[in-house]
Amino acid sequence: MVQIAIMGLGTVGTGVARVVAENAAQIERKLGEPLQVKTVLVRHFKDGPYRQLMTDDFRKIEEDGAIRVVVETIGGVDAAYEYTKRALNAGKHVVTANKQLVAEKGCELLALAKKRGVNYLFEASVGGGIPVLHPLTQCMAANRIDEVYGILNGTSNYILTRMVRTGAFFSDALREAQEKGYAEADPSADVDGIDAGRKICILADLAFGRQVDPADVPMEGIRNLSLRDVKIVQRGGYRVKLLGRAVRLPGNGRTAYVAPHLVPEEHPLANVEDVFNAVMVRGNATGEVMFYGKGAGEMPTASACVADVMEALQASPRREEIGWEPETEGFADPMTLRGRWYFRIDGSLTDAAAAFGQVEVLSEDGETAFLTEPLSGLEAAKQAEGLRQLARMRVLG
């Protein structure tokens, strides 16, 4: 029998325990022996089906030679980072869904896992139940990955869907998301692009093989998005989506960012709605490949965690293709990327043409909304300096 421990018994930790119990027969067939949760680390004891497994002393996990895998679902960096290091040093595999920890400390923890001959796996940290990291690093290993982008946060995507479908204002759509349990009481990480930013950092790390520091990645969310812009671009054949994007640049450079985009309605991402996520990976041999599904939730995320537990136990001795170099040089300002831009200005078409030359007009109704020709973000910002800007967004494509 293989015994594991869970650190944290919130939504994902509880889901891991449920998956191990409910899918016991299937897991045993694939592992060749039963899988059992032996210990659960908690801060506060509470009644329930796992009460007899609970401890508030990490040493009971750290010093238990029978526990081979530790599943970290604490979240955050402080305690999770310390306990993960100690578990790896104790020769235990560690599996996590903690995107913040992986984005900020993943390079160090992977190096420590390699040194100790164990695995540090984190499939659930980016796509929840969507398998994307394993395909990126193994199934597409023969490719040079040139770009990774997508809808990486289900909460913000749900809010945008409600704004498009029902004409709801951002504040009303957010309140509805909170009532349905899709958004936290403090939704900042979701609506301000922080959650998507951590995920695109992990994807960039794996795609390009070098560290992307979250502190270097601009993260713009949807909090200040106007319903007026959502309606204007919809009439013009676009949908507004919050995208994380990582791009390989000439000379082995790279960049990454999170921001709202206009997505053409014929693009596959335009039809990804509600709490669903989708990741597009562009390889030089495969072209674009899309991964789609629920990016969060108790059972989808727990499913990915348990799959990583099984892989950690079966890998011999560890997943060599997982990892990246600590080098951070070569990261460029994403404003150097070229593309079309959407502007809404308090001014006329004449003002827009004077600043940008040829433009595609989407609306003239007291204000003017238009799309520019392709130019870098730096050029767009400079040419728009004399305009009274009301909104500005990138256009995908």
Structure tokens at 138: 């193994």
Which residues, including other chains, have CB under 8 Å from residue 9's CB and lie 6 or more apart?
17, 40, 42, 50, 54, 73
Nearest to 213 by CA among 325, 86, 98: 325
**Active site includes 199?**
yes
> 180, 199, 231, 294: which one is catalytic?
199
Which amino acid would we find at residue 1? M
Structure tokens at 223: 């909090």
Tokens 């998301």 correspond to 177
Nearest to 149 by CA among 22, 225, 275, 261: 261
- φ/ψ of 14, rounded to 5, equals -65, -40
Which residues, including other chains, have CB under 8 Å from residue 255's CB and lie 6 or more apart?
246, 247, 249, 331, 332, 333, 334, 336, 337
Catalytic residues: 199
